[in-house]
Structure 1
Amino acid sequence: MAGLRMWYLAVTVLAVSTISLRGFVPAVHAAKSNFCGTFVEPFQFLCTERRMHSADGFELLLHRIGGGTATDSNAAPVLIMHSEFLNGDSWFQFTDAADKLLPLLLVDAGFDVWIGHERATKWSHGHLSLETTDTRFWDWTWDEHAQYDVPAYLEYIKNVTGSPVHYIGMSQSATAGAATAANLRSSSGIRSMTLIGPNIYAGDSNSVVLAAWAFIFGNIIDEANYENGYQSGAFNFTTAFPGVTSINGQSPLALALEVISGPNCCLGTATASFTNGWDGTNSFKNLLHYQQGMRSNTWRRFDYISADGNTQAYGGPSAPTYHPEDISTNIPILVVYGGNDAMAPQAGVQLLLSRLRNAESVLLPNYAHFDLLWSSRRTQDIFIPILQFLERHK
């Protein structure tokens, strides 16, 4: 039974990589979205929406949340960015009756909170000149988040508030945020960084499924789909596999989380409580970028393999490498990570910590990857330490 279960999990994870562009392209949103009214205003908090574009033309939505403190010039701004395959409303999913939501917890503590949404996700899904059916719309990886999206958010918030920004990123956005901080041109807008489950050095993962995806099947599938201009679509098993509601007594979503996160994903959290947040999109090129990082255990820009391809993109025969040592000592860093994390393995995070020059950490030994976002104990284990860190570096 265990072998059959692992076979099913491997097939379903790889099958997600084959969903075509035509199946799961979120609708382009109107001039004003319903994010504020759906996720923030029911809690009696103020919420305003800002719409901007990255330097390469992608629409980026930004939501500012407050309860009176967000307009206070003394309130330090905080930008909170979501994980891959998700969007900003994932921060508004409860996991327990006594649960706290990180954005609202920070507003109550006197911070000026902003929620960002990565390009091509549910709330940031337009472009100045490209349609979603254009292959160029999907020609990006997390490196474009670091080169364009995060700097655009930081610059905007700094211009509005007159203050550098506390950056909080989960998983992919932790990786992109750290890459932004390693770039001297962008780092001036950062006051502090909180990196939750940064999958920067992922080569030491003990996940057989992730290894198979990175080294064999996924590379073949994702390369073919990238060349055809497709994207991976929303990682939503209810939509991708209609009619499949249970495998061995578990929901497909719970099984997928277990595969890519770890054997104890979410520490008892009910998957139904956060399925609404699981509807971001991702490009096949980005999936290839992750596979490159896992195979080489390096933190670098997308490798076009050929010297000519890299020279055209970067001016040299190799893809440039990011160096944690390049992050200024003026930027204090908090790293929160799990001991059972397959996507951001403990050895990889500890390698990162050994190379950062002004960092502290919180290790949660029993946590897998998405426990860091959805654990029923996240308030006391993760959110309170983050709040205390920000308080020390206001």
Structure 2
Amino acid sequence: MSIPILGRLHITDWPIIAISFLLAWIEFIISIITNSLPSHVIDVFTVVTKFIYRFTRNPINLIIRHKKDDIHQDEEKFTYSYINSDLPNLTRKQYQTMIELLNADRIEQMVQLFGYDIESRIVKTKDDYLLTIHRIKGRDRPSNGKVIYLHHGLLMNCEIWCTMIEKYNNLPFLLYDLGYDVWMGNNRGSKYSQRHLFYKSNSVRFWDFSLDEFALFDIPNTIDYILKVSGAEKLTYIGFSQGSAQAFASVSVNIDLNDKIDQLIAISPATTPHGLYSKFLDILLKSSPNITYLLFSRKVLMPSCLFWQKIMYPPLFDTMIDISNYLLFNWKAENIDKLQKLSSYAHLYSTTSVKCAVHWFQVMSSKNFQMYHDATTSLSGLNPISYPLKNIQIPIHLIYGTADSLVDIEVMKSQLPDKTTTVHPVPNYEHLDNLWGRDVHELVFKEVLRRLGENTDDLFYRLSLLENDRNPKLIEDIIVDVGEDEATLNQQSYLKMANNSNSNGLSPVSHVENLDYGTDRRSTVGTGIFT
């Protein structure tokens, strides 16, 4: 029996709706209470959580250290430092990089780990939002004169591009060293773009935006700024998930962008996603915008995520992310290594508006890539406006995972221009795998490079020449800091290995060594040294 007028919800669904509202408010109240607790009390809970988590299946154990905050010297915060787990094939450099990425608070710290710097610029949109965009800077390398603009997805910011433990598994660094001028954008409301000339960031007016504002202001205004500063006539746009949808929408309504973008490369693209894996949540959130607004307000979407991430033991936080993604999207995250999740999931979430989420539920419900619609019922006589995606005149390249439950590739192909759209499937990859999967360089990034006209056959050789020129091999690079008793023996073995590598032109990995990381490390980690 269905309740008249109220749509597809069955009378038996209403108790679950009531429970959903109750849980949402309980979580909100718990957040307030926990946030008011003294820091040492929260620290105790974190230590207890870590202890309990050690007894779960295949845990990653991190040693907790206190570290003085750089800004507030009188405050202390948790810093997660060392791995205590039997993890083979982990080099010392990879291990240290993962820890530093996990602890990094800003994009500047993240890129510096790989030897780069960030140049930050402020873009004022035509509706007076202030957006921070970032430009990769580093040592001199031959420039090809081409400009790349990278844009993140929903509930993300630019940090998602720079979380991989291996340097060239991060697309910005790969592109920069190949000679591109690389820029990364940030949507209004995200971590680096929470300012307006007239609206306070805690006001409803500040958060009154959806995909429409991204398409009408953020994307075109950012592109104009990048072209002006770089002096280039055109750029290549690379978007992830919602970042691709924003570009499609923006180019379709801003015809002049067809002359400013040479091609659109869409990674895990989204225009009309499938519904949520949870049928109940799918029906509930699609049924009426008012329900979503009642659950989450009309401001920031799930701001408590940042709070829980701050106080929760990182491996447990990663587990909660995996469980949530499975319940919502049926993602299993089997292609992302557990260690990689530590550094990537720490930078997964950023703020956006509830209205933006409502807009996506409208798109999923109607199976139509349309502008935000204010009408709450189809009986109102008001109809949404569809984005005219067929107006896009530039080449579009879609790179999607075949196991991605969000991507309806056939519907997307029917919406985009036939003659200028190409499709590249990545077998058995899910949504986030196209950013952080263990084989992302081979399966995704090389396809991006091919679309950019790069010869991927000699890619490793070109990058190795650049690395050798940037980091000449010295004796200090070869010898590893080991315990005093085995120092001489190990130094001799590494020197011998280095000589062998110089003679055959290869860069081998040493056998697994047990390295002494100091008194605070409770056990050694299997590692190898690249020379």
TM-score (norm 1): 0.80
Q: Does 1:321 align with 2:383?
A: no
Letter of the aligned partner of 1:121 in structure 2? S
Q: Structure 2: which amino acid aligns with 1:106?
A: L
**Is 1:120 aligned to residue 189 of structure 2?**
yes
Instruction: Measure the CA separation in 2 of the matches of 1:239 and 1:210.
Output: 22
- Which of 80, 87, 109 aligns to 2:178? It is 109
Q: Return the structure number with greater relative CO, CA threshold 8 A, min gap 6.
A: 1
Q: After TM superposition, list the pairs within 5 Å mapping 1:233-272 onto structure 2.
A: 233-234=302-303, 236=305, 239=308, 251-265=319-333, 267-270=335-338, 271-272=341-342
- Paired positions, count: 359
Say if 2:189 and 2:351, in contact at 8 Å, map to a contact too.
yes
Per the TM alignment, residue 317 of structure 1 is displaced from its structure 2 partner at its CA by: 4.7
For the residue of structure 1 that corresponds to 2:325, the secondary structure is helix
Q: Which residue of 2 aligns with 1:345?
A: 408
Question: What does the per-residue CA deviation read over 1:113-137, in whole Å, with 9 as the maximum and x for residues that have no partner?
Answer: 0011111111111111111121110
Which residue of 128, 133, 138 corresponds with 1:57? 128
SS of residue paired to 1:254: helix
Measured against aligned partners, the alpha-carbon deviations of 1:259-304 in whole angstroms (never above 9, x if no partner) come to 3443332514322121221231121111111111111100110011
Superposition pairs of residues 141-180 of structure 1, within 5 angstroms: 141-160=210-229, 161-180=231-250
DSSP 3-state at the match of 1:267: coil
Displacement of 1:386 after TM fit? 0.5
Q: Describe the shift of the 1:68–1:359 C-alpha distance in structure 2 as closer, same or farther (beyond 3 A).
A: farther
Runs of 4+ in 1 over 6 A off after TM superposition: 244-247
Moved more, 331-340 or 43-52: 43-52
1:43 to 102, 114, 126: 114
Distance 2:363 2:161 in 1: 27
Tell me, in whole angstroms, the C-alpha distance in 2 between the residues paired with 1:320 and 1:150: 19
Whether 1:336 and 2:399 are equivalent positions in the alignment is yes
* Within-5 A mapping of 1:26-41: 35=106, 37-41=108-112
Given that 1:262 and 1:369 are in contact with CA atoms closer than 8 Å, whether structure 2 keeps it comes out as no
CA spacing shift, 1:204–1:348, aligned 2, 3 Å: farther
Matched-pair contact (CA < 8 Å) for 1:180–1:187: no
Partner of 1:3: none
Instruction: State whether residues 114 and 167 of structure 2, in contact with CA within 8 Å, keep that contact through their aligned partners in structure 1.
Output: no
CA distance 1:366–1:208, change in 2 (3 Å): farther
Partner residue, 1:313: none
Identify if the C-alpha distance between structure 1 residues 55 and 368 changes in structure 2 by more than 3 Å, giving closer, same or farther: same
| Counterpart residue type for residue 321 of structure 2 | L
Tell me the SS of whatever aligns to 1:105: helix
Identity %: 23
2:7 equivalent in structure 1: none
Q: Partner amino acid for 2:408?
A: P
Instruction: Give the Cα–Cα distance (whole angstroms) in 1 for the partners of residues 248 and 221 of structure 2.
Output: 15
Does the CA-based 8 Å contact 1:59-1:124 persist in structure 2? yes
1:384 to 439, 446, 469: 446
The verdict on how the C-alpha distance between 1:234 and 1:344 changes in structure 2, with shifts beyond 3 A counting, is farther
Shift of 1:255: 1.0
- The aligned residue for residue 30 of structure 1 is none
Decide which of 59, 81, 88 is 2:158's aligned counterpart: 88
Aligned counterparts of 1:383 and 1:192: Cα–Cα separation in 2: 16
Q: CA deviation at 1:71?
A: 9.5
Matched, 1:139 2:208: yes
1:212 alignment partner in structure 2: 283
Q: How far apart in 2 are the matches of 1:65 and 1:45?
A: 7
Give 5+ residue unaligned stretches, structure 2: 1-15, 33-104, 456-531
What's the CA shift string for 1:138-175, capped at 9, x where partnerless?
10011211110000111011112232110011111110
Q: Take 1:98 and 1:155, find their aligned partners in 2: how far apart are those partners?
A: 30
One-letter code aligned to 2:403? N
Q: 1:385 to 1:186 in 2, by over 3 A?
A: same
**Partner deviation per Cα, 1:243-265 (whole Å, 9 max, x = no partner):** 68888x97111112223443332
Find the aligned partners of 1:222 and 1:230 in 2 and give their Cα distance.
11
Aligned-residue Cα RMSD (Å) equals 3.6
Q: Determine the C-alpha separation between the residues in 1 that align with 2:427 and 2:166.
A: 24
Matched, 1:222 2:300: no
The corresponding residue for 1:360 is 422
Relative to structure 1, the CA distance from residue 223 to residue 229 in structure 2 (aligned partners, 3 Å threshold; closer, same or farther) is closer
Structure 2-normalised TM-score?
0.60
Consecutive unaligned residues in structure 1, runs of 5 or more: 1-6, 24-33, 311-315
Q: Give the AA of the match of 1:113.
A: V
Residue of structure 1 in register with 2:352 after alignment: 282
- Counterpart code for 2:273: A
2:96 matched residue in structure 1: none
